[in-house]
Structure 1
Amino acid sequence: MKIRLSTFAVALPLVLTTLTGCGMTDKETDDVPSAGTSTSSDAADALEKISSGIYDLIEVKGKASDSRAGVEECPGKDSDTYFKVFHPWSFYPTSPSDLDAAMEQLKERLPKHGWKIVEYGPDTSRNRNIVLIADNDAEKAGVHIAKMPKRERPKLDLTVVSGCYKVPEGQKVEYF
C-alpha cells in the first residue's frame, strides 16, 4: 500500500503540472486551467467516463481496478467555489507479457482521440518505469500513465485529472 500511495503522490503533481502547461488554460489567469462550471458529482462522473474511454483504447485483455474519482482544491482559488477532480486506477493485463502491448496501444491511440502526448519515456525511479503524460484540451483533462513491469503483479498505473471547475452560483464544492 505504501508503494501505491507514493506512486500516486508522484503521479498527481506531474499530471497537474502538465495540465497547467497545456492549452486549456483560463484566459484570465495563465497558470490555472479552467474546465468550466459543474457540480462535484457531475464533474466526477464526466472524468470517470474519460477514464473509461482510455480503458477502451487499450484493447488488451485484462482488468481495471475498481476506484472512484475524488475531488480536491484548485491551488490559489477559493476552495468553496473551485475544485479539480482526479481518478486514479490501474490496468492489469491478463498476461504480464501483454503489458508492453497495452502501453503501445495507448501511445498509438490516444493522439487519434484528441490527446496530445507531452511526455514519454523512463521516469527517475529505480525501475525506470515508462511514463506517458497526455493532455486533452477538448475534454479539459490530463492523464499520467506509468508502465510498471517489475511489480509483483505488472500493471499500468493511471491517473486522470481535470482542470479547475467552478460550482454553479449559490452552491459549494462537495469534497469526496
Structure 2
Amino acid sequence: MTRAAGVRTALTARAALVALAALTALTTGCGASMTKDANEAHGAPGDDGDGTGDGGTGDGTGPVAEKPVEMAREELRALSDQLLELAAPADGATVTDPGPGVDVCADDPDRERLFTLYHAWGVHRLPRADLERAMDRLRQHLPAEGWLVTEDGVLNNANRSPRLLLEHPGLHTAADITLAGRGDDSQLRVTLQTACFSTPEGESPAGEY
C-alpha cells in the first residue's frame, strides 16, 4: 500500500483532529513501557537481530481520556501524517502503511471499554542518504512540536540501526523511529503507540481488534 502525495494536502484538513488529543500530561499507560521495541511488538519486520515481539497486547493501564475508537484512529492517523510531513521524504518514496491498529490494555483484558492504538508505517525505495536526512529532520524538529526525546542511539544489531524514541505528553503518544536495513535497501520505520483510552459508556472496542 502506498500513500500518494495527497497526504500532505489532507494534513491541514485533519489538523484539528490532532488538537483533540491534547488533553493533560501523561498518566499511566504512556511511559517508558510504550517505547520498548514498538516495531517488533506490532509485527513490523525485524532488522538483523532485533528479535520479534509478541504482536499481541499493549502496555497501557488506566485510561487517560474517553473517546470513540474511530475518533482515536483518526487522531493517530493525522499525527502520522504530521510526522511524514516533517520528514518530507523525496518524491518517489513508497510509504508502507497498513493503518492504525487497536491493542488490549492490561487493565481491561476482556476488552470491555479500554483500548490502546498503534500505527506502524515505513518509508523506503529511496537512497539511504535521503532517509538519513529525513530522520535528522524528525530529530531536529519534533522537540519543537512538544515531543520529548527519551533515547537517541543505535540498536544492538548487525547494522547498528539508528533509533530515536520520543514521547508527547500532551498527545499521550510515544514514537519509535528506526532507520533499518543497509544501503539503498534501507527503510525508515515509524511506530506510534498511544496510552489507554476508554470508549464512551455503552460502547465497546471488542469488534475493533
Interval of TM-score (by shorter of Structure 1 and Structure 2): 0.7 to 0.9
Deviations 1:2-50, CA, capped at 9 Å, x for gaps: 994446945x89xx67xx7xxxxxxxxxxx3644111111111111111
The 3-state SS of whatever aligns with 2:190 is strand
CA RMSD of superposed structures (Å):
2.7
Q: Residue 193 of structure 2 aligns with which residue?
A: 161
Q: Residue 48 of structure 1 aligns with which residue?
A: 77
The 3-state SS of whatever aligns with 1:121 is strand
What's the offset of the Cα at 1:94? 3.2
Distance between the aligned counterparts of 2:69 and 2:135, measured in 1?
A: 30
Q: Residue 129 of structure 2 aligns with which residue?
A: 97
Unaligned runs of 5+ in 2: 1-39
Give the share of equivalent positions with the same residue, in percent.
20
Cα 1:175/1:9, change in 2 over 3 Å: farther
Amino acid at match of 1:167: T
Q: Residue 26 of structure 1 aligns with which residue?
A: none
Q: Is the 1:35–1:162 Cα contact (8 Å) retained in structure 2?
A: no
Are 1:116 and 2:141 counterparts?
no
Distance between the aligned counterparts of 2:169 and 2:177, measured in 1?
A: 17
Which is worse superposed, 41-50 or 63-72? Answer: 63-72
Q: Residue 175 of structure 1 aligns with which residue?
A: 208
Count of aligned pairs: 160
Cα 1:93/1:108, change in 2 over 3 Å: farther
What's the offset of the Cα at 1:149? 4.2
TM-score, normalised to structure 2, is 0.67
Which is worse superposed, 70-79 or 98-107? Answer: 70-79
What's the offset of the Cα at 1:152? 6.2
Distance between the aligned counterparts of 2:52 and 2:114, measured in 1?
A: 21
Distance between the aligned counterparts of 2:148 and 2:159, measured in 1?
A: 25
